[in-house]
Amino acid sequence: MGGSFFLFFACSVIRHLLFQSNAYDLGWFDQLVYLVSVGLPPVVSFAGDYHLLGDHVAVILYPLALFYKVYPSVYWLLGVQALALAGSGGLVWQLARREGLAKPDSWLMVGVYYLYPLVFNVNLYDFHPEVLAFPALLGAIGIVRSHRISAGESRHQPRWRDILGFIFCLLVILSCKAVLSLTVAALGFWALCLEKRPLYGILAISGGIAWFLATTQWIIPQFSGMEAAAVGRYSYLGDSVLEIALNVFLKPHLVWGHLLSLSSLEYFLLLFVPVFWGIRWPNLSPLVATLPTLAINLLSDNFNQRNLVQQYSVPLFPFLLLTLILALSQDQLWVKSRKFILVWSVLGFLCLAKYSYFGSVYLRKIDTWEANRQAIALIPPHASVIAPSGIVPHLTHRPLIQLPREELTPQQVSQFDAILLDQRHPDFGSSPDAIARLRQYCQNDPHLTLTFSQDEVLLFQHLGEKTGT
């Protein structure tokens, strides 16, 4: 666990230092947590002033702001995420031992977990609160599967310690992202109907449904003035959460058109081929709890939801792990050789993990790396800034920061204290034409001065009263 934490944290930090983290999503969450920590309204200034509670209702960001009160740094987010993923290896070990696996097989399952490509990849892909729900999901699954029987206690009469632990896990999961309420409800259905744990099932189903309705029908509209942002990914099914949910049943031809596609087949292969050896019918009951996540990803128009790089598949992985552990404990495997399982896991990691990006994709901005570092150092701490997407996460500890977008006007540009332009690497949300236009605006503005120019990296600033320089 310690070695994994060091590896995960080091990789995410190196990626960030190479200007490969992005405004979406590391800069997004870093600005929100920073603003909470200093008592300002938590709104993302470069995304239409999205309020923290008007997006994913990730209320777990509020306690994370306590770290920023100690010392404000984006590395807290990268560290907490790395800790959640690395620490989950211990929970996998406990779950395997609880299911009766011998120590060698328990170690094997820990290895399978760490080598599953999603774990390494999602750690690299900026920061996402739902990753913090991963250990809580494993904890909730472990409690449901704890069939301990002692004096005066039965399978249907859990101990208070377990009940409180289960409730805590549910609260953590629900606090990470509104859509995880569907996973919680599905977990409850699995616990109630398949594991015969009525108390846990009722708690999860009622909590999940209540939070889903509260967030989608009240909290998000209240703070954003519109439906949840992800609704646009399902526009072919409707314009609201309830309409989409209704049309899933009323317009099955649209649903099956998305499900029966090459993209869906590719997604299933990515998910299950690395662990095919343990996917057998007698042990698939835990995968019932993955159906909401699978449906959300498969029905989306956003192809990014169907890969092993981004965070969208995180909620289903704990249940997949339980399926593998059950198959191993009951010796119901397609391939019984433990050596083959380990070698196959290593091959899956080598083929699908994105470690090779450190020698290719992540070096594409190396030609302007030093120039960007020097330009960033010249920007005052609280100045309002326009900067490329890859630079934004290094400057989000301020109320106002914007991307160099096409639609910015000269009047809007003149309101910013500093405009940082990388002409070689416009980044997401911009283009070479937009950068050239903004450069022209800055050169024509008598209040802006070019204070830095190197390797086609330009920094224009308001000198004097606005920045105090």
List pLDDT tens digits, range 173-229: 999 999 999 999 999 999 999 999 999 999 999 999 999 999 999 999 999 888 887
Q: What integer best gives the mean pLDDT of the chain?
A: 93
**Quick one: average pLDDT of 24-34?**
96
Q: What is the pLDDT of residue 70?
A: 96
Q: What is the pLDDT of residue 147?
A: 67
pLDDT at 151 over 50: no
Q: What is the pLDDT of residue 225?
A: 84
Q: What is the pLDDT of residue 232?
A: 87
pLDDT at 152 over 60: no
Q: What is the pLDDT of residue 265?
A: 94
pLDDT at 422 over 90: yes
- pLDDT tens column, 291-307: 999 999 999 999 999 99
How many residues in total does the chain contain?
469
Out of 251-265, 281-295, 385-399, least confident range: 251-265
- pLDDT tens column, 245-279: 899 888 888 898 888 899 999 999 999 999 999 99
- pLDDT tens column, 81-98: 999 999 999 999 999 999
**Quick one: average pLDDT of 395-413?**
95
Q: What is the pLDDT of residue 150?
A: 39
In the chain, the percentage of residues whose pLDDT exceeds 70 is 96
> pLDDT confidence of 153, banded at 50, 70, 90?
very low
Conformation bin of residue 124: beta by default, left when phi > 0, alpha when psi is -120 to 50: alpha
Longest dimension (CA), the chain: 83
3-state secondary structure the chain: CHHHHHHHHHHHHHHHHCCCCCHHHHHHHHHHHHHHHCCCCCEEHHHCCEEHHHCCCCCCHHHHHHHHHHCCCCHHHHHHHHHHHHHHHHHHHHHHHHCCCCHHHHHHHHHHHHHCHHHHHHHHCCCCHHHHHHHHHHHHHHHHCCCCCCCCCCCCCCCHHHHHHHHHHHHHHHHHCCCHHHHHHHHHHHHHHHCCCHHHHHHHHHHHHHHHHHHHHHHHHHHHCCCCHHHHHHCCCCCCHHHHHHHHHHCHHHHHHHHCCHHHHHHHHHHHHHHHHHCCHHHCHHHHHHHHHHHHHHHCCCHHHCCCCCHHHHHHHHHHHHHHHHHHHCCCCCCCCHHHHHHHHHHHHHHHCCHHHHHCHHHCCHHHHHHHHHHHHCCCCCCCEECCCCCHHHCCCCCCEECCCCCCCHHHHCCCCEEEEECCCCCCCCCHHHHHHHHHHHHHCCCEEEEEEECCEEEEEECCCCCCC
Q: What is the pLDDT of residue 224?
A: 87
**Quick one: average pLDDT of 320-337?**
94
- pLDDT tens column, 331-367: 999 999 999 999 999 999 999 999 999 999 999 999 9
pLDDT at 130 over 70: yes
Residue 300 φ/ψ, nearest 5 degrees? -75, 145
pLDDT at 155 over 80: no
Q: What is the pLDDT of residue 433?
A: 95
Q: What is the pLDDT of residue 287?
A: 97
